Copies of this chain bind each other. A is one copy, B any other.
Amino acid sequence: MAPRDRAAPRRYHGRPLFLLEQVVIAHTLHVDLGERSYPIFIGRELLRDRDLLRRHVGGSQVVLVSNETVAPLYAERVLQALEGCSLVTEVVLPDGEQHKTLASMEHIFDRVLADGHNRTTTFIALGGGVVGDMTGFAAACYQRGVDFIQLPTTLLSQVDSSVGGKTGVNHALGKNMIGAFYQPQAVLIDIDTLQTLPARELAAGLAEVVKYGLICDAGFYQWLLGNMPRLLAREEAALAEAIERSCAAKAAVVAADEREGGLRAILNLGHTFGHAIETHQGYGNWLHGEAVAAGMVLAAKLSAMRGWISDASVAELVDLQLSMGLPVAAPAEMTLEEFRTLMGRDKKVLDGRLRLVLLREIGAATVVDDVTEGELAALLGST
């Protein structure tokens, strides 16, 4: 069950792309999905890189989708890089998860059809996960599928949404209930955008980075233990390294299981507990990454209860997350009964069995469906 062999970085050939200033902080890696493969570029100043961008725009028509927070900061440089395209439509959506809806999709289609984009057009997402998920889904559906480029501007979207092909929107009765698996032509991660990211969002994104180390790359986890201060200080070389290793880890898992048959479930370490916490607190009060961070500690504790990892490893993770300003426990007022109810609603529940991702060891996750009532009580009684 340990995914380490398949997730090993040998499937990914990170190589220096170009030199900037004095250190190599630009990389490219390749997500290997057969005919749906695509490259991820990581570096500085990529949003201004006309050649890089234009190389991945198939035709001369472009739809740039962003939101009201990101567009004022970064849209202009992208539009400049797109100069020379015959038709450029800019769609600026309101910011926030509550706008990730079919209604916003319809707004995109209204604009794109009014401007007369044909099936040679390319949709470009400039923003975080919400913009990326919606733009990707719109690209998947427009004339039954047009090209799509991701320009993720938050750490979470850079290490999570840019790999995996999950696109979609929310429904009043559930998150991400409507969507498609759809791969981009390319992902351009401009780490300069992280300089404007609020500190709380940076830490929440780093929670997902820590997750990749825990589930499939012990060496990366060790690196994170040593380099977290550089990441929190937004040192560019460290950020590029962390993003590349996170994307490589996720890409390896996704390449082995594109349509979420099994292995891919390990990416949900901390997420089942995390979703319960998010729901309990009301969406938006805890950031997704914060809830996942608390969930990862719970999963680690449960793994230690089974003797799979040491109590020292749990303590090390708790210390790391505290240094990042992340939660290390569920909200004090949440009861075992509330956890049980909310986790039962999780999308990953099949046939009534609760599936949880645990750690066989640091760097090797596994999915279990045999967690007992006693274990849950011991774990959640003590949080």
- Asked if A279 is an interface residue, CB under 8 A from chain B, the answer is no
Closest to A166 in B: B144
CB distance A180 to B143 under 8 Å?
A: no
Q: Do the beta carbons of B181 and A144 come within 8 Å of each other?
A: yes
Flag if A180 contacts B141 (CB, 8 Å): yes
A109 interface hit (Cβ, 8 Å)? yes
| Chain B residues near A168 (CB-CB < 8 A) | 141, 144
* Measured CA separation A140–B119 after assembly (Å): 20
Say whether B120 contacts A350, CB under 8 Å: yes
Q: Evaluate contact between B109 and A171: CB separation under 8 angstroms.
A: yes
A110 CB, min distance to chain B CBs, angstroms: 8
Q: Are B180 and A109 in contact (CB under 8 A)?
A: no
Is the beta-carbon distance between A145 and B180 smaller than 8 angstroms?
yes
**Residue A235 interfacial (CB < 8 Å):** no
The reply on A105 being an interface residue by CB < 8 A is yes
Q: Which residues of the other chain, B, contact A177 by a CB distance below 8 angstroms?
A: 109, 113, 142-143
Complex partner residue of A178 from B109, B174, B176, CB under 8 angstroms: B109
Chain A interface, number of residues (Cβ within 8 angstroms): 32
Residues of A329-348 whose CB lies within 8 A of B: 347
The reply to whether A350 and B118 form a contact with Cβ atoms under 8 Å apart is yes
Is A102 engaged at the interface, CB distance under 8 Å to the other chain? yes
The answer to the question of A106 belonging to the interface, with a C-beta cut-off of 8 Å to chain B, is yes
Q: Would you give the shortest CB distance from A220 to chain B, in whole angstroms? A: 28
Q: A181 and B109: CB pair below 8 A?
A: no
Q: List 22 A-B contacts (CB under 8 A).
A: A102-B102, A109-B171, A110-B171, A110-B173, A113-B173, A118-B347, A118-B350, A119-B347, A141-B141, A141-B168, A141-B178, A141-B179, A142-B178, A143-B177, A143-B347, A144-B166, A144-B167, A144-B168, A144-B179, A145-B180, A145-B259, A180-B180
Given A113-B173, A141-B168, A144-B179, 11 more A-B residue pairs with CB atoms under 8 Å apart are A102-B102, A109-B171, A109-B178, A113-B177, A119-B347, A140-B180, A141-B179, A143-B177, A143-B178, A143-B179, A144-B181
